[in-house]
Amino acid sequence: MKCIIDRRAQFSASHRYWLPELSEAENLARFGACTNEKGHGHNYVLYVSMAGDLDEYGMVLNLSDVKHVIKQEITSQLDFSFLNDVWQEFQETLPTTEHIARVIWQRLAPHLPLVRIQLFEHPELWADYYGNHMEAYLTISTHFSAAHRLARPDLSYEKNCEIYGKCARPNGHGHNYHLEVTIKGEIDPRTGMIADLVAFQKAVDDFVVEPFDHTFLNKDIPYFAEVVPTAENIAVHIRDLLKQPIAEIGAHLHKVKLIESPNNSCEVYCTEPLSLAHPAAQREPALVQP
């Protein structure tokens, strides 16, 4: 029986974004504060996903062996290091989150049956790599607070209450929405980036967070005057708002995940869901794919 297992590891390291072929002004314009000559650091969290058949002992792999491989090949070399200098791959291509994930895959692939490398630079920025040449996924997370009411204007109050329950109450209710936006693209062989991270964050802020934050969605966002602002419909609208801005920064919008509460979330895709494309993601099916 096929099964996927994950092993978590972590390391602390610093890095710097700087290309010697660019002037100081050009580096500053492209990388901002990340050009500081002393570098800056992160507590990286790494998840290694592996697939295989269960053996007679009920295991895909012996996790003690997996732990040893990850330590020997990755964490013992990267922990408390300056990434730009530690591996040759980071001298040719900047050690961005997505590129580090790709190089970790390359170094572990001869030893483990990998299906995914997921690397968190911090809780609001992470990359996924599935072994597909230079293609990687980059996710940022953010939040906004908003109120809404779930009710169709063409239905009676009683019918809306039957469908939406307490959410149909006339004065609405609010949520602290957690939003995850994932892009995919080819890693630039020099910058190590799928797209400019600052431009990516700005697109999400300008087109979603600022317009949506501290609003009553039904009344303040024109789209929801006629569309019921369920979590699913909000996610679909966010996806549609971000498609073009993300394309303009040179990437493809892959997924929008909206977490309405600890109990409710939904995902919508612009491209083939990872649950279909990659076995490692089969535990995260798309709930909405209009």
Give CA–CA dist 84/52, Å, rounded.
Answer: 34
Q: Which of 175, 260, 266, 270 is catalytic?
A: 260
Same domain, 138 and 25: no
Per residue in 42-77, pLDDT (tens digit) is 999 999 999 999 988 889 999 999 999 999 999 999
Domain final residue, candidates 97, 131, 165: 131
Same domain, 246 and 261: yes
Q: Structural domain of residue 92, as residue ranges?
A: 1-131
Collapsed DSSP state (helix, strand, coil) of residue 284: coil
Active site residue 178: no
Q: Which of 135, 167, 178, 186 is catalytic?
A: 167
Per residue in 70-82, pLDDT (tens digit) is 999 999 999 999 9
Q: Are 274 and 281 in contact (CB under 8 A)?
A: yes
The pLDDT of residue 2: 85
Average pLDDT of 255-273? Answer: 91
pLDDT above 70 for 281: no
Same domain, 19 and 126: yes
Domain final residue, candidates 100, 131, 162: 131
pLDDT above 90 for 288: no
Characterize 153-182 residue by residue with b for buried, 16 or more Cβ atoms within 10 angstroms of its Cβ, and e for exposed: eeeeeeebbeebeebbeeebeebebbbbbb
The model's pTM: 0.90
The confidence band for 25, taking pLDDT boundaries of 50, 70 and 90, is very high
CATH at residue 38: 3.30.479.10
Give CA–CA dist 290/288, Å, rounded.
Answer: 6
Same domain, 125 and 61: yes
The domain tally of the chain equals 2
Active site residue 34: no
Task: Tell me the pLDDT of the chain averaged across its residues.
Answer: 93
% residues pLDDT > 70 (the chain): 93
Active site residue 260: yes
Q: Are 232 and 270 in contact (CB under 8 A)?
A: no
Same domain, 260 and 138: yes
Per residue in 111-152, pLDDT (tens digit) is 999 999 999 999 999 999 999 999 999 999 999 999 999 999
Same domain, 139 and 78: no
Same domain, 77 and 138: no
Same domain, 36 and 96: yes
DSSP E strand boundaries for 124-272: 125-129, 135-148, 173-186, 215-216, 252-261, 264-269
Q: Which of 3, 214, 226, 272 is catalytic?
A: 214
Same domain, 167 and 54: no
